[in-house]
Structure 1
């Protein structure tokens, strides 16, 4: 299962809630979306790893640094990628492991897998307790831009080199709470590699591609932040 998956928790007074997903890069760093950290304070956030359930299990870590991309743009949702540095170090075990990143461009037409705790029903705002999994297929950025032209968000186009799109199964797709979560593929050697970070979609499960920040597009940026 997805041992690299993290839950970014928000805290309001005594209340705690799952806010975004993310993935473990190494002992200190987590990859997520910049919009997950927008106008947030590290004191009001924490990271939970090692559990596929929202309401029990897992190990909590406090946050040392929030590192959103310097050129993140809220109006256009471009450069929607961020790193979180935790206090201390993750203890890796049979439930907690880092994910490797795909350095090359993700191939088009390839099956990929997303994990997350986003809403399973947007109208009822149903948050699942158990980590959900969904398979997608990668599509080209040109194709994605064409398909999204008739969406409610033409201002967010075109899809650029820092983005990656997928075709989703009917009536399913990314939804609120999936943001920042990892999109992964298996390579020829059956190794799991991360190719994307959940950025935005036409909510939720509508007939449009879902959009991710591209790991390949930001590979050098990510490496420079986690040295």
Structure 2
């Protein structure tokens, strides 16, 4: 979906089993421009799957909040049929591994706007409880403003080549740096909404379709990994020379907490 100011929502349409992980893809065409996530990292990462009949595909990312709830983008779950969706945790690979959970409830922000991308945050409640292990763990949310110029990390299974619509099998990661909303607005030539967070990345690298809902994280002062943002949109096309847009978990902290109790 394209918005009036050229923002592309990062939904994936790639079917599972049709991913292309050719070794011919060079090092500059991965998350786009990322690299395979280090084993043992991002044990909070989830893959939100859509399925119709025997077709099953990764549609969005998300993060584990606790034993029952996942944080994601509102546009990943807005007006979707939860019976045609599921959550997979505990694997870095799309085509195998991990545990699958059915969905009990979809909770997009009640003031989410599909037209403007405002309040693009949502929660998924699973049926049952996640079974924690060294590959499945919740992540804490940072409930304070993120410093400008802070290094951060995005993980996801979004397209690694926008032109060829190529999807990865292995979880990808890419380093970002937080910038002020004023600097971001000037760069993308559009005002940001309250609750949006902007981060820049190297040229020709960045989030793309399938990375929606994915966690943007930092290392806090105690060297703990905490989540600061939820992947929301990019200036079209992916990996162009613009910052990427996230929703700030600090801005929506109270809303999140009120919906996971």
Same topology, TM > 0.5: yes
Within-5 A mapping of 1:1-227: 1-149=41-189, 157-202=190-235, 203-227=237-261
Q: Aligned with 1:31: secondary structure?
A: strand
Write out per-residue CA displacement over residues 126-181 of structure 1, whole angstroms, 9 at most, x where no aligned residue.
110000000000001111111111xxxxxxx4112310000111100010000000
Distance, in Å, in 2 between the alignment partners of 1:198 and 1:223 is: 19
Write out per-residue CA displacement over residues 86-145 of structure 1, whole angstroms, 9 at most, x where no aligned residue.
000001110000000000011110000000000000111111000000000000111111
TM value normalised by structure 1: 0.96
Relative to structure 2, which stretch is displaced further, 45-54 or 198-207?
Answer: 198-207
Q: Aligned with 1:143: secondary structure?
A: helix
TM value normalised by structure 2: 0.83
Distance, in Å, in 2 between the alignment partners of 1:38 and 1:64 is: 15
1:154: which partner in 2?
none
| Residues 10, 16 of structure 1: 8 Å contact kept | yes
When the two structures are aligned, how many residues end up with a matched partner? 220
Write out per-residue CA displacement over residues 41-94 of structure 1, whole angstroms, 9 at most, x where no aligned residue.
000100000000000000000000000000000111010000000000001110
Distance, in Å, in 2 between the alignment partners of 1:141 and 1:221 is: 21
Write out per-residue CA displacement over residues 180-209 of structure 1, whole angstroms, 9 at most, x where no aligned residue.
000000011100000000000013100011
Distance, in Å, in 2 between the alignment partners of 1:148 and 1:184 is: 23
Distance, in Å, in 1 between the alignment partners of 2:147 and 2:94 is: 32
In structure 1, runs of 5+ residues without a counterpart are 150-156
Q: Aligned with 2:136: secondary structure?
A: coil
Distance, in Å, in 2 between the alignment partners of 1:123 and 1:12 is: 26
- Aligned CA-pair RMSD: 0.7
In structure 2, runs of 5+ residues without a counterpart are 1-40
State the shift of 1:13 in Å: 1.5
Distance, in Å, in 2 between the alignment partners of 1:106 and 1:161 is: 14
Structure with higher RCO (Cα < 8 A, 6+ apart): 2
Distance, in Å, in 2 between the alignment partners of 1:71 and 1:128 is: 33
